[in-house]
């Protein structure tokens, strides 16, 4: 199982996450980390999902920034549950804007479309 511990992030990413966390708390946005660091074997398993294994595609690369601790995934909480339906759209958008203000980015495709909204990376 991949890590959810922010201490497993690279030094630079840990600093950016801690600043992001402070601003999230200042904005009263409740969230959980869903992934910080994962192994190459874990990445290969995720990559196989929706391709050679059943399920929805959840990653687009074998060279994820999660392998080096330079990315984290998160979920906004809504009444104690993960808000994967993005009912709290404003909180999701604010979380991303906070990340961008710290120099973090999302994964986008060649046309600039966001591939994974709940992911921020160096």
Burial per residue of 37-70, b for 16 or more beta-carbon CB atoms within 10 angstroms, e otherwise:
bbeeebbeebbeeeeeeeeeeebeeeebbbbebb
pLDDT computed for residue 107 by the predictor: 87
Number of domains in the chain: 1
Question: Is the confidence at residue 1, as pLDDT, over 90?
Answer: no
Question: What confidence score (pLDDT) does residue 108 get?
Answer: 86
Enclosing domain of residue 10: 6-121
pLDDT in tens, 27-65: 999 999 999 999 999 999 999 999 999 999 989 899 999
Give the Cα separation of 119 and 112 in Å (integer): 15
Let me know if residue 1 belongs to a domain.
no
Question: In CATH, what number is assigned to the domain containing residue 17?
Answer: 3.30.1380.10
pLDDT tens-digit series, residues 71-101: 999 999 999 999 999 999 999 999 999 999 9
**62 belongs to a structural domain:** yes
Q: Is residue 36 part of a domain?
A: yes
- Residue 111: inside a domain: yes
Which pLDDT does position 115 carry in this prediction? 85
């Amino acid at each position: 199982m991949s890590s959810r511990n922010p201490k497993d992030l690279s030094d630079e990413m840990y600093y950016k996450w801690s600043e992001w966390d402070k601003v999230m708390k200042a904005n009263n946005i409740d969230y959980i980390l869903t992934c910080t660091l994962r192994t190459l074997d874990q990445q290969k398993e995720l990559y196989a999902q929706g391709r050679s294994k059943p399920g929805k595609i959840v990653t687009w690369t074998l060279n994820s920034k999660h392998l080096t601790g330079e990315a984290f995934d998160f979920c906004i909480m809504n009444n104690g549950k993960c808000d994967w339906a993005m009912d709290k759209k404003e909180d999701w958008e604010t979380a991303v804007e906070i990340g961008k203000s710290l120099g973090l980015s999302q994964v986008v495709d060649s046309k600039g479309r966001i591939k994974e909204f709940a992911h921020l990376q160096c």
